[in-house]
């Protein structure tokens, strides 16, 4: 039996002739990209041939190779059938996929809105001086609606490719370009923007970029940005729109360049974002969102020309914005609810996206009820004495024990502050070790035994108490910090209880809690339950679904059916305005209580004596 040897590892794969090289390699578990599944259309399954005899290049195979590749032995593995001993080298490494592929993706029917068809264009002749737009008429009933299409019409006769968005003709390209069809799935968060380049043919994510939302210069949170527009009625709206469009274009350009995709082959961009971010992206007045009665200008999905927003893409490309429910339950949450399949749940499931605003959706056997709570920025490290964003030097986890304090620092560096997950972990530990009482107040040092390990970290200056985790720079949690966390926790937990009460579901009938969002993904169960953001008794029922907003945008890009379902889901989701609900103050105040501290009364050194 002949053998294939993979270099430099010298892995030997014996094989029966009769199959192509790709099939043999895949079966043996070697990594070769093959988005088109060996159908010979994507040109991705390249390997480097070193020794041994392979059949000669076919014209088809050559058409997929770049200049010079043929000379160094690059072959398309799906197009060659080896018969003898050969030695090859793999050309790709398995990449670490981003959140999108590691996060939860439900099953959906793959059918992008964008499709391509080839046709043969007969040239006009002297006898028949027909205009190109008329030749093209057959490709689209009545021709394309947008005259700008003519600016990009190729005049090369022969094989052409028509690009459609639904039934609408959006572009015509020379040659057969059916294998090149790309789109972007975008999640615009108030803080972070994520853009993923997607191959519409295969559904593969080719790359992703994340960046801080450039609108941060106009305010860190949604309300401040709206206030900016109020204060700058002439230019404010345009400035905010330009900020996000420019940063999206930058990210898309970088992605296209790094992956090697022509921006002209981008035909659709799907966007999931909160309601305010969508208003700002489309240059629509967002002022109504920032004031009671919190009325948005639009909540329905939008399908508009990308050129209208100035986004780089094929001239006919479309932008699809997912639908929202209300001012504070945006398309990001609709996307998340769809990804979590909340409308299909038979159980009682709670979905939470934790951020400056915590959005919560309760699925009561498929019926959806949502609310939004003003958690404030404490959980993102703001308004906290030693708070910072999650970046190198941020403490992301803390453990207190009789032998001292153990810190986990992002980037393994010297700690310079606490990020959101670190703050929560710190408060969790303070509660766990009885340094903070149920009502959120620090214990007085006087109640601690003289030789207690907690004396080492607790600092008391008059009535001011704090717990110190690091020195130079000093990083402490103060009483004020605990109060900030308490307010955030109270806001989220009260939303949680309000929804359950409204649906008439007792806590023990809750089957699952799904945590969405990049931030939530960094909050372990023990912190969420340990600080009482989520009630006790939910341990083991918590699952993390990653950036479900981006996943939702991705699915909308890949499936028109999913879009319909998202639109239906948005329409059917009910919303309750917490601040206006009966008895909310009482509930909020109850929810400010921390869980009973489960103090492990370690007697520290006293035990051994």
Partner 1 sequence: MKSQQDLLMVLSDCVVDMEDDSVSEVAEEYIAAGYPALDGILKGLVDGMQKAADLYEQQEYFIPELLVCADAMYNGLDVLRPHLEQADSSKKHKVVIGVVEGDTHDIGKNLVKIMLEAAGYETYDLGRDVALHRFIDKAKEVDADVVAMSTLMSTTMPGMGEVIELLKAAGIRNRVKVIIGGAPISLAFAQKIGADGYSANAVDAVKLVDRLIGDEAVVLGA
Which positions touch partner 1 (CB under 8 A)?
Answer: 219, 223-224, 226-227, 230-231, 287, 290-292, 374, 376, 439-442, 463-465, 479-480, 483, 486, 577, 579-580, 585, 588-590, 592-593
Chain-centre distance for alpha carbon 387: 24
- Tell me how far, at minimum, the Cβ of 585 lies from partner 1, in Å: 5
User: Given the complex with partner 1, which of 39 and 438 has the nearer CB atom?
Assistant: 438
Count the neighbouring beta carbons within 10 Å of the beta carbon of residue 149: 19
* 280 versus 556: smaller Cβ distance to partner 1: 280
Q: Strands across the sheet with 404-409, in order? A: 404-409, 394-401, 417-418
Q: How far is the CB of 440 from partner 1 (least distance, A)?
A: 5
Distance CA 497, CA 224 (A): 28
Kindly tell me which of 132 and 584 has the beta carbon lying closer to partner 1. 584
Smallest gap from Cβ 227 to partner 1, in A, equals 4
In whole angstroms, the minimum distance from the beta carbon of 599 to partner 1 comes to 19
| Nearest residue (CB) to partner 1, 230 versus 599 | 230
Distance (Å, rounded) from C-alpha 570 to C-alpha 564? 10
Rounded to a whole number of angstroms, the minimum distance from the CB of residue 359 to partner 1 is 17
* Smallest distance from partner 1 to CB 425, Å: 21
Kindly state the tokens that stand for 344: 């299909």
Nearer to partner 1, 34 or 484 (CB): 484
Cis link prior to 293 (omega < 30° from 0)?
yes
518-527 burial, b at 16+ Cβ within 10 Å, e below that, comes to bbbbbbbbeb
Q: What does residue 607 show for φ and ψ, rounded to 5 degrees? A: -60, -45
Task: Count Cβ neighbours within 10 Å for each residue of 379-399 and write b for 16 or more, e otherwise.
Answer: bbbbbbbbbbebeebbbbbbe
∠ CA(153), CA(282), CA(284), 5° rounding? 140
Q: Which of 192, 223, 226, 225 is nearest to 209 (CA)?
A: 192
The structure tokens listed for 469 are: 């985790």
Distance CA 362, CA 352 (A): 9
* Of 361, 371, 376, residue with least CA distance to 327: 371
Sheet holding 158-165, edge to edge: 114-121, 158-165, 168-174
Q: What is the DSSP letter of 111?
A: B
The nearer residue to partner 1, 39 or 291, going by C-beta atoms, is 291
Q: Compute the least distance from the CB of residue 377 to partner 1, in Å.
A: 10
The whole-angstrom separation of Cα 469 and Cα 457 is 7
| Residue 447, Cβ density class (10 Å: 0-12 exposed, 13-18 middle, ≥19 buried) | exposed
Nearer to partner 1 (CB atom), residue 358 or residue 546: 358
- Give me the least distance between CB of 389 and partner 1, in Å please: 20
Q: How far is the CB of 441 from partner 1 (least distance, A)?
A: 5
The first and second tokens of residue 524, run together, are 């372990």
Number of neighbouring beta carbons within 10 Å of residue 146: 15
What lies within 8 Å, CB to CB, of 95 at 6+ separation is: none
Residue with Cβ nearer partner 1 (348 or 486): 486
In this structure, the number of other CB atoms found within 10 A of the CB of residue 12 comes to: 12
Which lies closer to partner 1 via its Cβ, residue 323 or residue 377? 377
User: In the numeric block, which tokens belong to residue 51?
Assistant: 């020794």
In whole angstroms, give the CA distance from residue 4 to residue 261.
Answer: 32
Nearer to partner 1, 35 or 376 (CB): 376
Among residues 151 and 463, whose Cβ is nearest to partner 1?
A: 463
Least Å distance between CB 597 and partner 1?
Answer: 16
Using the minimum distance from each CB to partner 1, give the nearer residue, 36 or 223. Answer: 223
Q: Considering the complex, what minimum distance in angstroms separates the CB of residue 462 from partner 1?
A: 9
Give the shortest CB-593-to-partner 1 separation in angstroms.
Answer: 7
No. of helices (H) and no. of strands (E), the chain: 15, 26
């Amino acid at each position: 039996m002949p053998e294939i040897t993979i270099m430099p590892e010298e892995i030997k794969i014996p094989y029966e002739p009769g199959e192509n090289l790709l099939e043999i390699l895949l079966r043996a578990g070697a990594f070769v990209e093959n988005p088109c599944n060996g159908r010979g259309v994507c040109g991705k399954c390249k390997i480097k041939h070193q020794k041994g005899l392979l059949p000669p290049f076919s014209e088809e195979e050559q058409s997929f190779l770049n200049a010079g590749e043929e000379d160094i032995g690059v072959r398309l593995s799906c197009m060659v059938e080896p018969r003898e001993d050969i030695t090859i080298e793999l050309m790709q490494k398995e990449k670490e996929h981003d959140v999108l592929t590691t996060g939860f993706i439900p099953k959906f029917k793959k059918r992008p809105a964008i499709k391509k068809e080839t046709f043969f264009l007969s040239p006009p002749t002297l006898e028949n001086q027909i205009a190109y737009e008329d030749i093209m008429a057959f490709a689209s009933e009545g021709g394309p609606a947008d005259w700008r299409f003519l600016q990009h019409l190729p005049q090369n006769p022969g094989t052409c490719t028509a690009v459609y968005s639904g039934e609408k003709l959006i572009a015509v390209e020379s040659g057969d370009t059916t294998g090149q069809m790309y789109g972007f799935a975008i999640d615009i968060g108030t803080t972070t923007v994520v853009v993923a380049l997607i191959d519409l043919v295969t559904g593969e994510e080719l790359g992703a970029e994340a960046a801080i939302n450039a609108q941060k210069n106009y305010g860190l949170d949604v309300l401040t940005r709206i206030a900016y527009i109020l204060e700058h009625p002439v230019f404010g709206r345009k400035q905010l729109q330009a900020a996000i469009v420019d940063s999206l274009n930058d990210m898309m350009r970088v992605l296209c360049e790094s992956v090697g995709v022509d921006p002209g082959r981008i035909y659709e961009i799907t966007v999931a974002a909160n309601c305010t971010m969508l208003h700002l992206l489309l240059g629509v007045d967002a002022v109504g969102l920032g004031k009671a009665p919190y009325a948005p200008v639009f909540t329905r999905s939008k399908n508009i020309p990308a050129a209208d927003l100035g986004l780089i893409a094929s001239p006919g490309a479309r932008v699809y914005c997912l639908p929202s429910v209300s001012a504070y339950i945006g398309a990001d949450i609709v996307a998340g609810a769809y990804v979590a399949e909340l409308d299909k749940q038979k159980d009682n499931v709670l979905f939470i996206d934790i951020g400056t605003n915590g959005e919560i959706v309760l699925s009561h056997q498929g019926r959806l009820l949502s609310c939004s709570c003003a958690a404030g920025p404490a959980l993102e490290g703001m308004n906290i004495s030693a708070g910072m964003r999650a970046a190198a030097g941020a403490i992301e986890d803390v453990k207190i024990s009789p032998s001292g304090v153990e810190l986990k620092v992002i980037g393994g560096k010297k700690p310079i502050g606490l990020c959101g997950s670190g703050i929560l972990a710190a408060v969790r530990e303070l509660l766990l070790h009885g340094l903070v009482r149920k009502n959120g107040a620090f214990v007085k040092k006087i109640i601690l035994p003289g030789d207690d390990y907690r004396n080492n970290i607790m600092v008391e200056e008059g009535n001011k108490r704090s717990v110190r985790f690091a020195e130079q720079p000093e990083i402490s949690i103060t009483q004020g910090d605990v109060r900030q966390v308490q307010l955030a926790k109270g806001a989220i937990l009260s939303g949680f209880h309000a929804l359950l009460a409204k649906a008439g579901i007792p806590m023990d009938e809750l089957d699952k809690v799904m945590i969405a969002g990049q931030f939530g993904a960094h909050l372990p169960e023990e912190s969420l339950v340990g600080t009482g953001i989520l009630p006790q008794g939910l341990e083991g029922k918590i699952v993390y679904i990653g950036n479900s907003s981006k996943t939702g945008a991705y699915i909308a890009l890949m499936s028109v059916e999913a879009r319909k379902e998202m639109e239906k889901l948005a329409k059917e989701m009910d919303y309750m305005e917490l601040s206006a609900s009966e008895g909310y103050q009482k509930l909020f105040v109850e929810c400010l209580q921390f869980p009973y501290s489960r103090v492990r009364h370690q007697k520290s050194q006293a035990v051994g004596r």
